[in-house]
Amino acid sequence: MTVTTYPVTITNTAGTTLVGPNLTIDDSCSYWGIYGSVIYTGSKGTVQYCRGLRLNAFTDAAYSIPAPYSAGFSSNNGSYFFVTNLNAGGTGLTPLYLRVYFDANGDNLFDTGDPYLELGPVTPTTDGLLQNISFGDTFIN
Amino acid sequence: MKSRLLTSWVFLTFFGLILFGFCLWGTGCTSHITVPAVPPPAMTNTWTATNTVTGTPVNPTPTSTATNSPTLTPSNTPGTPGIFTPTSTATNTATLTPSNTPGIPTNTPTPSPTNTITPSPTNTVTYTPTLTPTQTPTSTTTITPTLTSTSTPTPTGTWYTNTPTITPTSSFTNCLTMTFTCTACCTPTATYCAKTYMSGTITYSGSGTVDGIHPIVVSGGFGLLGASVTVNGGTYVIGTCLPGVYYLAVNYYFNSWQMIGMRYSNGGSFSYR
């Protein structure tokens, strides 16, 4: 039931319809970040609960300093959302280094034999950067 | 011819000899008689030969064959003279006008005399028993397959069938009237009433576009009937039955229902006590 399309007028006191504020909104406040989907196209196994896809973010090009963003997927073509607003404790619009890998041996670690892809620096935007990720077996750890 | 010549020669010779004797006998011929030489008459032989050929004349047999050149076209081979036999039939194509179609004579000869046959004896057919139609045809419609309404999962507990009729009014009194039609054991609720409403407009001034997949949503927490608008500057109406203070949040889905990029704002408070 949608009532927003009906104009409302107060005609008696049994019920009250208040004249509310005229709300305004602009682009000054938005959720910054990166979002998209993750798809594994390789042949090292099927994405499942115990052999999932992992997406990690780092703040350095050596992929050694973790950023507070990560996502795990138990099925292919999942979605991720990294909100990076500073007031939410995020990294703002600083570039992030994203690495995604398929946990081929199911140990939940990025280790030998795992297909992976390192995307390099990805810069969040205030509108939200759509970064869909698709990778195969080109790179094996 | 030869015999005639011979006779003439003999006669002349004899006559000459006589004349010569007279001369000698008459010595008295005192003088010589000089007889001029008379040349013999020219002899003209005339004869006529008549050949009579008997037998059957025979045509000579041709020994050579003449060839006509050039070859005449068409090369007609003369036929054997005889009785002419036409080999083609000429058809007249001219249409006679008017084209009369021979009609069928319509004269009906009137038999005369008129014979009248009277069958005898007269046969009478009697149906036994007498049939009387007593059945009235009826039609039967059979629908196949038979539709069966099933619910999945099977509901448990008391099942109420209510058909609410929502009657929105352009001039609000105090609530939306919802009339329930109870068909089972239930307690009809005659009216659903949101006691208090608040309305206003929502305007987005950013770079996005407000539409069906990029709406602006107003929410205020538990108990508050929120609202959304799909047109920039559209009117929102929110309401609640629960006393309290509600803090409104306005969100604009910049990326089509995605949280990332969503604009947010605190638009004010709405209180009901």
| pLDDT tens, residue by residue, B44-79 | 666 666 767 677 767 667 677 666 666 656 666 656
CATH code, residues A33-135? 2.60.40
Of A14-18, A98-102, B66-70, the range with the highest mean pLDDT is A98-102
**Residue B210, in any domain of the structure:** yes
Cα gap A46→A40, rounded to integer Å = 9
Distance, CA of B74 to CA of B199 (rounded, Å): 113
Domain count, chain B: 2
CA separation, residue B159 to residues B182, B189, B269 (Å): 11, 15, 40
Residue type, B185: C
What is the domain extent for residue B249? 195-272
Residue B264 and residue B204 in one domain: yes
What is the mean predicted confidence (pLDDT) over A88-111? 92
- Tell me if A52 sits within 8 A of B243, measured CB to CB: no
- Among residues B232, A81, B4, which one has the least CA distance to residue B250? B232
Same domain, B178 and B240: no
* 3-state SS assignment for residue B114: coil
Contacts of A11 in chain B (CB under 8 A): 171-173
- Which regions in chain B score pLDDT beneath 70? 1-41, 43-49, 51, 53, 57, 59-60, 62, 65-114, 119, 130-195, 241-245, 266-273
In a domain, B105, yes or no: no
- A28, A31, A81, best to mutate vs chain B, most B CBs in 10 Å: A31
| Closest chain A C-alpha to B256 CA, distance in angstroms | 11
- Secondary-structure breakdown of chain B: helix, strand, coil percentages, each rounded to the nearest 5: 10, 20, 70
Residue A83 has pLDDT above 80, yes or no: yes
Residue B85 lies in a domain: no
The dihedral over CA atoms of B108, B113, B117, B118, expressed in degrees to the nearest 10, equals 130
User: Is there a contact between A27 and B206 if contact means CB atoms under 8 Å apart?
Assistant: yes
> Is ipTM > 0.90 here?
no
Tokens of B173: 């009194």
0.80 exceeded by pTM: no
Q: How many Å apart are CA A42 and CA A114, to the nearest integer?
A: 11
